[in-house]
Chains A and B, each alone.
Chain A
Amino acid sequence: MTFGRFLSDRLGRIILWLVCFAAAVLFLAATGTQIDVLIILLLILLLVFLMVQATDYLRDRARLRELESILENLDKKYLFTECVPSADNFYKRCLFDLMRRAGQAMISAISDTHAAQRDYREYVESWVHEIKTPITAARLVCRQVEGEPRRKLDSELAQIEAHVERALFYARAESPEHDCVIRPTSLSEIVSQTVERHRTLLMQSGVRIETQGLEQQVYTDKKWAAFILGQLLQNSARYRGDTPVITISAKPLAKQVQLTIQDNGIGIPAHELPRVFDRGFTGSNGRSRGGATGMGLYLCKKMSGFLELDIQLTSEEGVGTCVTLSFPAKENLTRM
């Protein structure tokens, strides 16, 4: 707030006062007061008037700066009304009270939404746990069937499991910090576990997996990393070429370990590449093959961000797709 702005706000009142002063002086002059006395009187009046305006300005400016600094320092800005000291005069107090009540309604609404969201997420999580039992039971029943139907049922069940898992991770992705243990983990362990979990899909797609130099230690959460890798493997298997090969390789790079998942699948058109990590984006491949939800890579990106992984995707149509995950790791001192 500048002094000019302050004065322009009070312009009407200031003019009124000055007119009053002038009228008073004219009146006194007309009734025979000495000119010297009038000048002294006028000077004193003007001085006092100016001082009042100046103190008002300084007080308002200090108050405004205080409020600004409170807002600045607040992490959740919507709690502003709860942190502001009440005002000194009645009118301001009424305004303050109105603001506080509006703020209260907003905080209530936010809190209710958070609670509803949390309830829903908890419901989805418990639902996922419950649905796993009938899926396992179905798998067992499936063993008693022979031949073609068993193979088909197996693959359908594997798909159901993959979808269910994605739903669970989606629900958790909102607050992954509740379920996250960062530990030194071996990459080969993550990869073998993930491949094992998606065995049915990979075998039925006839995918050959090649691994290279996976004996690396990285710092990450095993479960989340395995989920990300699982999504990538599923994509590679789903959008495969004629003789599908997935190459999983790792190489240390300063304070990182880069894990590369390279396939020789159908690839992604260049104009769709910038959008593959968008939520719900299925692209031309997903559209032509069906069954795509547009959630897989979105979740990968989101989780990577949380785990401090860098995820890069390059692809050439008809040649294949290459995803690079950079895991944080200890600097490899032995090599130097």
Chain B
Amino acid sequence: MLQVQNIEKYYGSKNNVTKALNRVSFDVADGEFLVIMGASGSGKTTLLNCISTIDTVSAGKILMDGEDVAGLSEDALAKFRRERLGFVFQDFNLLDTLTVEENIGLALSLNHADAQTVQNRVREVAEKLGITEILSKFPYQVSGGQKQRTACARAIVAGQSLLLADEPTGALDSKASKNLLEIISTMNRDMRTTILMVTHDAYSASYAGRVLFLKDGRVFNELLRGDRGRSVFYHEILDVLAALGGDVSDVL
């Protein structure tokens, strides 16, 4: 569903150019749960920004269902982002003046869906993610874990096919993180949502079906979970991280 072909990204200012991504290539299949790991500065957020069309690549191609996203016009890009991509950010990005229900339904309303459909869709998704009781509350009245689940619901409510998550557990305590990760894997398993998550946390990564390691803008290694248990996979990820030379604070 997503093909990344030899992309490069340069960041330039007046006097220097930095190469953030160096010939990165990978494919994401339908219904896959892929995690991209790497130390800070390895280019993982840049990669996510390029895939989410927030940033443009310097070289190479990003194909969504065979269509080059670089060729889209500004309007088409906005539509593409709204209808095909779901975003989950580290700091939730919920609107404090809207209720949880309105937050989730916002994208649908912007797409000019009628009120009844919006309500139905929102309730359906909320039920799946276990946030039906808090639908009428405001974001500041609910916990961090619930906020993040609301963000997840918002990301898939319009039937988006690809969920992009940038450090979704970054602002959560370990219990809420675990809860959120369970929900993300449920979404992947039961709703067949394709998930691309960026993290530097090995525990979060161990929920994925495949982990891609970035180092200095290059793909350094790739791990497949196969039928192995999560804890086995977790230790294998730690081994690669040790080889990557990411410092301890990045691993733990």
Question: Which residues on A are within 8 Å of B, measured CB to CB?
Answer: 66, 69-70, 73-76, 79, 82-84, 100-101, 103-104, 107-108, 110-112, 115
Chain B residue nearest in CB terms to A109? B59
A111 to B218, CA, bound (A): 14
List the 4 closest pairs (A to B, CB-CB), nearest first: A83-B12, A108-B59, A107-B59, A82-B10
**B23 A73 Cβ-Cβ under 8 A:** no
| Tally of contacts, chain A with chain B, CB under 8 A | 51
**B12 A104 Cβ-Cβ under 8 A:** no
Known interface pairs A104-B57, A104-B59, A107-B58; A73-B14 also in contact (CB < 8 Å): yes
Task: Give the residues in chain B near A110, CB-CB below 8 Å.
Answer: 59
Question: Which residues on B are within 8 Å of A, measured CB to CB?
Answer: 6, 8, 10-15, 17, 23, 56-61, 70
**Chain B's nearest CB lies how many Å from the CB of A69?**
7
Chain A residue nearest in CB terms to B16? A73
**B6 A111 Cβ-Cβ under 8 A:** yes
**B58 A104 Cβ-Cβ under 8 A:** yes
**A108 B17 Cβ-Cβ under 8 A:** no
Task: Give the residues in chain B near A103, CB-CB below 8 Å.
Answer: 58
Chain B residue nearest in CB terms to A112? B6
Q: Pick the residue among B17, B56, B57, B60 that contacts A74 (CB under 8 A).
A: B17
**B13 A83 Cβ-Cβ under 8 A:** yes
Task: Give the residues in chain B near A74, CB-CB below 8 Å.
Answer: 12, 17
Known interface pairs A108-B6, A108-B59; A79-B12 also in contact (CB < 8 Å): yes
A82 to B21, CA, bound (A): 13
Task: Give the residues in chain B near A115, CB-CB below 8 Å.
Answer: 6, 23
Task: Give the residues in chain A near B14, CB-CB below 8 Å.
Answer: 66, 69-70, 73, 83
A sample of 26 inter-chain contacts (CB < 8 A) reads A66-B14, A70-B12, A73-B14, A74-B17, A75-B17, A79-B12, A79-B17, A82-B11, A82-B12, A82-B17, A83-B12, A83-B14, A84-B12, A100-B56, A104-B59, A104-B70, A107-B58, A108-B6, A108-B8, A108-B59, A108-B60, A108-B61, A110-B59, A111-B6, A111-B23, A115-B23
**Chain B's nearest CB lies how many Å from the CB of A203?**
49
A74 to B13, CA, bound (A): 10
Task: Give the residues in chain B near A101, CB-CB below 8 Å.
Answer: 70
Task: Give the residues in chain B near A79, CB-CB below 8 Å.
Answer: 10, 12, 17, 58
A216 to B1, CA, bound (A): 65
Task: Give the residues in chain A near B61, CB-CB below 8 Å.
Answer: 108
Known interface pairs A111-B6, A111-B23, A115-B6; A73-B57 also in contact (CB < 8 Å): no
Q: Pick the residue among A73, A76, A111 that contacts B60 (CB under 8 A).
A: A111
| Given A76-B17, A82-B17, A100-B56: 12 more A-B contacts, CB < 8 Å | A73-B14, A82-B58, A83-B12, A83-B13, A83-B17, A84-B12, A101-B70, A108-B60, A108-B61, A110-B59, A112-B6, A115-B23
**B59 A111 Cβ-Cβ under 8 A:** yes
Task: Give the residues in chain A near B11, CB-CB below 8 Å.
Answer: 82
Chain B residue nearest in CB terms to A75? B17
**Chain B's nearest CB lies how many Å from the CB of A23?**
41
A46 to B96, CA, bound (A): 53
**Chain A's nearest CB lies how many Å from the CB of B22?**
9
A63 to B134, CA, bound (A): 53
A224 to B23, CA, bound (A): 31
Task: Give the residues in chain B near A112, CB-CB below 8 Å.
Answer: 6
**B13 A107 Cβ-Cβ under 8 A:** no
A84 to B56, CA, bound (A): 13
Chain B residue nearest in CB terms to A110? B59
**Chain A's nearest CB lies how many Å from the CB of B4?**
13
